[in-house]
Amino acid sequence: MTTKPPDALDCRAVQASLADELKTPAGPVERHVAECPACRAFAERRDRAWTLLGALEDREPSPRFAAGVMAKLASAETRRRPLSAPWLRWTAVASAFAALILVASIILDRVGTDDEAASGVVAELDLDVLESQEMLQHLDVIEDLDLLLLLDEG
Amino acid sequence: MDSILDPDVELMLRVQAGDRPAFEALVGKYQRPLVNLIGRYLGAYDDAEDLAQEVFIRVHRAAPRYQPTAKFSTWLYTIARRLCANHARGRALRRWFTLSRDAADAEDDSPDEGRDVADPADDPSVTAEKRQLRRVVAQALSALPDTLRSAVILRRYEELSYEEIATIVGCSVTAAKLRVHRAKSILAKRLAPYAKDAES
């Protein structure tokens, strides 16, 4: 059933203006609502729905919530603790670099030997090289932990 | 932002300086609003506590880079909203990939039931009605698109200003108002039958 608006205002415009979030200064809209059953019903429906949302009442978190946060924090800190002493970092970098040189020299030394056997050895050694490079990359990550965390949250 | 205006910013600056009790104070103050915000957003409380704890871990991790440019709660809810959106996307992907779709649907279609323990003092029929209404409201909220849902939850339950909502969801103030307006209109239609019951 449609109800003829009592004035010249368009009901859709009135209903949009009625919303408190888009409210215009009082005046013709309020007068229209007071006289227009359709717009009044619209406003009441919205208000009732807003009230019904209150059915989702606040709940208490479990009593162990805060302790759980602190436990997770302690565990995360243990996992993510960077190499704090500078000499430790440099030792790690130097070790990785030495390993890389060693692996590369072994590969070069083996090139030219029996093809089938050599390809297997090279493939195996390549993996070592990759692992060493990964170690180096990992060290970069350790150095740049803050950047990593920032990206993680992004 | 002047940290004197917001005591929580003051606490966060202490967290930045390595003050553990200040962090515990923030956890104590915001655990309840955060768990409820996340529970309402996800439509279920099962994962809400885990996610809320993860939000606090991220707050602590981000402390060294913290800049007090807004209210602490605005910053906290921004982190929570992003985490919720990621979680919801992950859940949708899992549902898409899983073969046991029915099981996933059952999980998603039963919001709000995880910790719904009846109070023995309540009239059983009233409790059942309340539980049904809670379920209907949770489903109506869950059915809203993400952008509308977060805006309406922040407005209705956290009673935030449109300026704060705009900052948290990353849109203009006008867009935040429009989102709440649209969400209210959709909810008014979906909840209309229950609104009549509540009235009678």
Q: How confident is the model at residue B110 (pLDDT cuts 50, 70, 90)?
A: very low
Residues B85 and B18 sit within 8 Å (Cβ to Cβ): no
Same domain? A89 vs A38: no
Domains B1-113 and B116-200 share a fold: no
Whole-number pLDDT of residue A28:
77
Q: Count of domains in chain A?
A: 2
Is it the case that residue A86 has pLDDT exceeding 80?
Answer: no
- Percent of chain B exceeding pLDDT 90 equals 63
Question: Which range has highest mean pLDDT (A31-35, A83-87, B81-85, B112-116)?
Answer: B81-85
**Residue at A64 is within a domain:** no
Candidate from A48, A61, A153 with C-beta closest to B195:
A48
Is it the case that residue A7 has pLDDT exceeding 80?
Answer: no
Query: What is the average per-residue pLDDT within A21-45?
Result: 78
- Put simply, the answer to whether A21 touches B28 (Cβ < 8 Å) is no
Lowest-confidence pick of A58-72, A79-93, B116-130: B116-130
Q: Alpha carbon A33 to chain centroid distance?
A: 45
User: Which has more confidence, A88 or B41?
Assistant: B41
Residue boundaries of the structural domains of chain B = 1-113, 116-200
Interface test mutation site (partner B, options A17, A39, A53, A73, max chain B beta carbons within 10 A): A53
Cα dihedral sign, B152-B158-B163-B165: negative
Collapsing DSSP to helix, strand or coil, B44 comes out as coil
Whole-number pLDDT of residue B118:
40
Whole-number pLDDT of residue A107:
84
Whole-number pLDDT of residue B128:
85
**Residue at A2 is within a domain:** no
Q: How confident is the model at residue B111 (pLDDT cuts 50, 70, 90)?
A: very low
CATH of domain B116-200: 1.10.10.10
Q: Nearest-5° angle of CA A91, CA A96, CA A102?
A: 125
Question: Which chain A residues touch B54 with a CB distance below 8 Å?
Answer: 72
Whole-number pLDDT of residue A33:
81
Domain that holds residue A15: 11-55
Candidate from A21, A56, A57 with C-beta closest to B181:
A21
**Residue at A142 is within a domain:** yes
User: Which has more confidence, B5 or B116?
Assistant: B5
Whole-number pLDDT of residue B120:
41
User: What tens digit of pLDDT does each residue of A52-74 get?
Assistant: 999 998 999 999 999 999 999 99
Query: What is the average per-residue pLDDT within A43-58?
Result: 91
* pLDDT mean across residues, chain A: 72
Q: How confident is the model at residue A78 (pLDDT cuts 50, 70, 90)?
A: confident
Please determine, looking at this structure, whether the domain spanning B1-113 carries the CATH number 1.25.40.80: no
Lookup: tokens for A137: 């990359």
Cα dihedral sign, A97-A102-A107-A108: positive
**Residue at A141 is within a domain:** yes
Whole-number pLDDT of residue B115:
42
Residues A70 and B24 sit within 8 Å (Cβ to Cβ): yes
Q: Alpha carbon B200 to chain centroid distance?
A: 31
Confirm whether the ipTM is greater than 0.90: no
- Residue A76 touches chain B, beta carbons under 8 Å: yes
Cβ-in-10-Å burial (0-12, 13-18, 19+) of B48 comes to: buried
**Residue at A4 is within a domain:** no
**Residue at A24 is within a domain:** yes
Dump the DSSP string for A25-86.
Answer: -SSHHHHHHHH-HHHHHHHHHHHHHHHHGGGS---PPPTTHHHHHHHHHHHHHHHH----SH
**Residue at A39 is within a domain:** yes
Whole-number pLDDT of residue B117:
36
Query: What is the average per-residue pLDDT within B128-135?
Result: 88
* pLDDT mean across residues, chain B: 84
Query: What is the average per-residue pLDDT within B31-42?
Result: 95
- Residue A21 touches chain B, beta carbons under 8 Å: yes
